[in-house]
Structure 1
Amino acid sequence: MTDRTTSWPDRLADLANEHGIVGASLAVLHRGEIVVEAAAGVTNLATGVEVTTETLFQIGSITKVWVATMVMALVDEGVLDLDAPVVSMLPALRLKTDELTAGVTIRHLLTHTSGIDGDLFIDTGRGDDCVEKYVALLADAAVVHPLGATMSYCNAGYILLGRVLEVVTGVQWDELMRERLFRPLGLTHTVTLPEEALLFRTAAGHESQHGEPLKVVPRWSLMRSTGPAGLICSTPREVLTFAKLHLDGGTTAEGIKILSPESVAAMQRRQVELPDHYRATGWGLGWMLDEWDGTPVVGHNGATIGQNAFLSILPEHGLAICLVTNGGDMRTFRGAVFGEIARELAGVTMKAAPMPAAEPPPFDPADFVGVYEKAGTRIEIVDNEGVLSAVFTSTGELADLSPDPEICEMRPLGPDAFVIQWPGEAGWMPMTFYQLPDGTSCLYCSVRSIPKVG
């Protein structure tokens, strides 16, 4: 096995350059110790400030595992019950249907099986009551599938969990994270608010529209109301301090017990199957579950405005990897970095990304043509003489970030499945067509179930 721990600063810079990455920071935990820390590129193309290993990046939806950890800590304390209806804790809660209001549980929210249309982004202000105000608007959120019928990634569900945490503890979400996680873990470079991030060297996101050069995004972060779904900012080292908690049975390095070993194990246990296994094989209580070379992997990714974060843990090997980036071909870059580290430190081959089928299966375009829509996204599948394309149009409050539709040619992957290449990226993204038990036709894309509406 090649020892790359001393050469990774150079290697990360080489890979970042190869994949057009603006800036990146990497940390690797192995057998209880940080064995790699490296940084490359700049925090902001407009300023040229270099990325260091102490630069803060947005970790996006990796935040959800921190929220799930807090939920499970309260389960350990007997404050929460995974299968209790959420309305029993939030009596004023109203969702789209009476059945959903009465039936949705904490477990549904943790596993993304509630059916609430999850990408409803609404700015409810900068006050400490922003999560409470957001939850009050969920009565108008659409339902994309019946309760428990499938798994569809749900930001709204985690914001709702954040409100549950506020109500049962009496502590506002941002302060609860500081009080119950950041401080006990000894974190000094992990925050939830932009005014806190400004105290550090902090990365800005970069995006490209229609093949144009990367440029700084016009908006640094999502609205504060989305905090429990994805607003933590941190460094790879501190994300791995959190990951180590889950490798060490729920106890910090200083001996502070945050979770029971039973809750740590429950979070990593499969709760739900996915409609396809291209991105993951299943979902636990907060964690995304997968396998590399037959080896179990738990983890989560995060995507915000022009920034991406990736966390993968191989519990059998005591290995955890965190990579954060702020622009460029980020997913392919992640595959190159994680693939090398997994081989070197665990002897494991990372799961290959989906590719177009070498021998495309026959298909009838008419089976897939139509309009699929959920909050934030409208996808039209069109047939051009037997070649399918997906036309993505952003809607809702974030539509101004991508004002023009993106058109991606669809290449056959397997029965009822295709892959597309997002502009500016070399990797392929899977799209699977399937039906719910009630016969509703859906498109599964970015681990979201998107119903056919026309």
Structure 2
Amino acid sequence: MTTSQEELLPGTRRALLHRIATAQAEGRAPSLVAAVVRDGRALWHGARTSVDGHGPDENVQYRIGSITKTFTAVLVLRLRDEGLLDLAEALEKHLPGTGAGEATVAELLAHTGGLAAESPGPWWERTPGSLRPELADVLGDGTALHPTGRRYHYSNPGYALLGALVEELRGAPWEEVLRREVLEPLGLARTSVRPQAPAAGGWAVHPWADVMLPEPAEDFGRMAAAGQLWSTTADLARFAVFLARGDERVLSAETLREMSTPAAPAGPSDVVDGAAYGLGLQIQHRDGRLLVGHSGSVPGFLATLTLGVADDVAAVVLANCTGGLMTSQVAADLVRIVAEAEPRMPEPWRPLREVDPSVLALAGQWYWGASPCALRVTADGLVCLEPLSGAGRRSRFRPNGDGTWTGLEGYYAGELLRAVRRPDGTVDHLDLGSFVFTRQPYDEGAAVPGGVDPQGWRGIG
């Protein structure tokens, strides 16, 4: 992937540089690197201050912490897509004896398995993985803190279990499976489980003085699948393109959409922040934008990869400090700067190549009770049913090939839309999950549940 600085306007590039310069200075990070991706390629790379006396570039490795979880989730979804597991299956079916086997694979992916946030014993991110050679050392007694499936509770040990699940079903170490099935196909040559020069050192910055302390860079052992990886802005830019578009060699776009769909119930603070969690991806709303990605932090490093879905703009921010800097906010700001300064050009309108006359006859105004709605036939072969008032339930529907359609989103996701016809073949009404839509408000000539008062519409006499 070639980085082209000329594809963004000079004012946009300066605004991006100013944002990371402000973040680095105010956050007192020894170094900070960032990249912006749009339309499937990296458009900008920026860096502030130095690593080992040299300005960092897009090929300098930083530790990315919990962004590792997204890579692990990709491996698990590959197993599901190959039919080797079902997300609704309990972990115990494939990995017996952990003590946490009641949780399903999906619950572990979404952090709703009820497990503890951290492993027992010494702080696992600052001590050798050799202290935790077995899964029992990661989980302790495996006792759940919360009922499974009921509450979102972020769990690093849960992703250690998912890494072990990958190893069990592939018959190879997590590291080897990751390299073979994800890193190599996507060309992520500078993403690895151990640092490869050039790599930034991790630092803690004193809260009350401008001095630093080096952080240890431990091998996490059994916890590797939760936060081990090192990577670069160039590699994570490629990974962002994959998350946005899919790659049939790794995962389809459809499966990636499933990963970025909320799967964990939000707590009160999450509702306020507009945050949710999918299957290995964090989901949030900032500045009116839907952002999907993941953040990461381990001693000495902070990292964020985020994708602005509607704008097709992604940002990567990496820094080598333990705290003091909100990389997730910086990344969201980089997305916003590009999206607002250089808004995405809409796709040109094109007509359908061909249309079924029986489908075209359904287009137009319908009424759910007395509420006016419109059914539109769109150029992508879908139909869209939406309220004319602008407020209410709206969904697109894909054709099933038998004269019915299935809802793709919102309240009607998965629900069946069909035209109910009279004996002479004319359409009586539309049925959408038992809701009836008629051509006139409570059409007396249609089969409206409960019937229509024979005296019809009236005023107050």
Q: Same fold (TM over 0.5)?
A: yes
Return closer, same or farther for 1:165/1:178 CA change in 2, 3 Å cut-off.
same
- What letter matches 2:291 in structure 1? V
1:111 paired residue number = 110
Q: Give the gaps of 5 or more residues in structure 2.
A: 1-7, 344-461
In 2, the alpha carbon distance for the partners of 1:329 and 1:126 equals 23
CA RMSD of aligned residues (A): 2.8
Return closer, same or farther for 1:232/1:5 CA change in 2, 3 Å cut-off.
farther
> Is 1:262 matched up with 2:267?
no
- Give the deviation of 1:231 after TM superposition: 0.8
1:301 paired residue number = 295
Return closer, same or farther for 1:263/1:149 CA change in 2, 3 Å cut-off.
same
- Give the deviation of 1:139 after TM superposition: 4.7
What CA deviation, in whole Å up to 9, does each residue of 1:246-300 have, x standing for no partner?
211x21xxxx521123211111111122212255521111111111233321111
- What letter matches 1:247 in structure 2? A
2:315 paired residue number = 321
After TM superposition, list the pairs within 5 Å mapping 1:130-145 onto structure 2.
133-135=134-136, 138-145=139-146
Contact 1:132–1:163 (Cα < 8 Å) also in 2? no
SS at 1:35 equivalent: strand
- Give the deviation of 1:187 after TM superposition: 1.4
- What letter matches 1:184 in structure 2? P
SS at 2:87 equivalent: coil
Of 61, 65, 90 in structure 2, the residue corresponding to residue 60 of structure 1 is: 65
Return closer, same or farther for 1:214/1:220 CA change in 2, 3 Å cut-off.
farther
What CA deviation, in whole Å up to 9, does each residue of 1:194-246 have, x standing for no partner?
xxx1x311112221355243413341235222210011100112112112112
Contact 1:298–1:314 (Cα < 8 Å) also in 2? yes
1:311 paired residue number = 305
SS at 2:149 equivalent: coil
After TM superposition, list the pairs within 5 Å mapping 1:43-122 onto structure 2.
43=51, 47-95=52-100, 101=101, 103-120=102-119
- Give the deviation of 1:120 after TM superposition: 0.8
> Is 1:220 matched up with 2:217?
yes
Contact 2:185–2:249 (Cα < 8 Å) also in 1? no
> Is 1:286 matched up with 2:280?
yes
Return closer, same or farther for 1:207/1:67 CA change in 2, 3 Å cut-off.
same
In 2, the alpha carbon distance for the partners of 1:336 and 1:159 equals 29
1:447 paired residue number = none
> Is 1:273 matched up with 2:265?
yes
SS at 2:32 equivalent: strand
Identical-pair percentage: 25
1:146 paired residue number = 147
Return closer, same or farther for 1:3/1:80 CA change in 2, 3 Å cut-off.
farther
- What letter matches 1:42 in structure 2? S
Q: Give the gaps of 5 or more residues in structure 1.
A: 96-100, 350-454
Return closer, same or farther for 1:245/1:213 CA change in 2, 3 Å cut-off.
same
Return closer, same or farther for 1:330/1:240 CA change in 2, 3 Å cut-off.
farther
What CA deviation, in whole Å up to 9, does each residue of 1:307-356 have, x standing for no partner?
1001111121111101000127653465356325413324699xxxxxxx
In 2, the alpha carbon distance for the partners of 1:290 and 1:153 equals 15
Relative to the length of structure 1, the TM-score reads: 0.66
In 1, the alpha carbon distance for the partners of 2:152 and 2:183 equals 30
After TM superposition, list the pairs within 5 Å mapping 1:343-358 onto structure 2.
343-346=337-340
In 2, the alpha carbon distance for the partners of 1:189 and 1:228 equals 17
In 2, the alpha carbon distance for the partners of 1:64 and 1:346 equals 30
Return closer, same or farther for 1:137/1:326 CA change in 2, 3 Å cut-off.
closer
- What letter matches 2:320 in structure 1? N
Q: Which moved more, 1:223-232 or 1:130-139?
A: 130-139
Contact 1:20–1:328 (Cα < 8 Å) also in 2? no
1:192 paired residue number = 193
Return closer, same or farther for 1:90/1:259 CA change in 2, 3 Å cut-off.
same
CA radius of gyration, larger in:
2
Of 230, 236, 246 in structure 2, the residue corresponding to residue 233 of structure 1 is: 230
Of 24, 30, 35 in structure 2, the residue corresponding to residue 27 of structure 1 is: 35
- Give the deviation of 1:104 after TM superposition: 0.8
Task: Give the count of matched residue pairs.
Answer: 329
- What letter matches 1:318 in structure 2? D
- What letter matches 1:289 in structure 2? I
Contact 2:315–2:331 (Cα < 8 Å) also in 1? no
SS at 1:272 equivalent: coil
> Is 1:157 matched up with 2:150?
no
Return closer, same or farther for 1:5/1:174 CA change in 2, 3 Å cut-off.
farther
Contact 1:3–1:344 (Cα < 8 Å) also in 2? no
- Give the deviation of 1:78 after TM superposition: 0.5
1:205 paired residue number = 202
> Is 1:42 matched up with 2:50?
yes
Relative to the length of structure 2, the TM-score reads: 0.65
- Give the deviation of 1:180 after TM superposition: 0.6
SS at 2:146 equivalent: coil
